[in-house]
Amino acid sequence: SSIKYNLPIKIAELALEQLVKFIYNGKLSLLHENLLDIYRGSKLLELEEVIRKCEAFLEEGLNSQNVWQRFKLCQQMASNNLPKIITYIQDSWDTVTSSAEFLELTYDELESLVPKVSEKLCLSVFNSINAWVNYHEDPRKCKLVNLLKLIPLMTIPMDTLIE
């Protein structure tokens, strides 16, 4: 029979199990699915090594397939890794903004990500902003002007702007 403890702090049961295993044998199994719960539990229990491992997980193997999931996790964790993930997004703008997850971003998330664009990237950023607005046009079209202020429109061909 297993012993049940009534802890006054809220830690997901599976995360607590992982943290106890880590304390006893130093092993930790981090996945996208359990990272947030383990991170929150390690913050409550002040397990600095686990906190560092969770934050390192966000950067390891970062690619265009997992960048949006890790971006969201970073935000939920209020992690110091967020600037590194934002830099990755900005450096890989064409690739990462072609995904469905990009279209699901909130206005504030998108605004925080628009890179200080070079001329060669302006058209790409313009097109991705346009795609984001068109994805849910009614609630988003009022945000278009504010987003367009973030890019130098003079570098975009006039016929593209008119479309």
Do 4 and 66 lie in a common domain? Answer: yes
Tell me how many domains the chain contains: 2
Sign of the dihedral through C-alpha 81, 34, 70, 74: negative
Do 74 and 6 lie in a common domain? Answer: yes
Do 20 and 67 lie in a common domain? Answer: yes
Would residue 153 count as lying in a domain? yes
State residue 157's pLDDT score. Answer: 76
Domain boundary among the residues 33, 60, 82 is at 82
Report how far residue 150's alpha carbon sits from residue 143's, in angstroms, rounded to the nearest whole number: 12
> For residue 110, which of 126, 158, 64 has the smallest C-alpha distance?
126
Do 18 and 66 lie in a common domain? Answer: yes
Domain boundary among the residues 82, 114, 148 is at 82
State residue 151's pLDDT score. Answer: 85
Do 7 and 66 lie in a common domain? Answer: yes
Residue 59: HSE in the Cβ half-sphere, 13 Å Cα cutoff:
12
Report how far residue 56's alpha carbon sits from residue 77's, in angstroms, rounded to the nearest whole number: 13
* CATH code where residue 33 lies: 3.30.710
Report how far residue 117's alpha carbon sits from residue 127's, in angstroms, rounded to the nearest whole number: 13
Domain of residue 48, residue span: 1-82
Do 63 and 96 lie in a common domain? Answer: no
Do 124 and 50 lie in a common domain? Answer: no
Per-residue pLDDT of the chain (163 residues; tens, 9 = 90+): 567 666 566 788 888 899 999 999 999 999 989 999 999 999 988 999 999 999 999 989 899 999 999 999 988 888 777 888 988 998 999 999 999 999 999 999 998 888 776 666 888 888 899 999 999 999 999 998 999 888 887 877 787 777 7
Tokens of 131: 């795609």
Report how far residue 73's alpha carbon sits from residue 33's, in angstroms, rounded to the nearest whole number: 10
Report how far residue 43's alpha carbon sits from residue 45's, in angstroms, rounded to the nearest whole number: 5
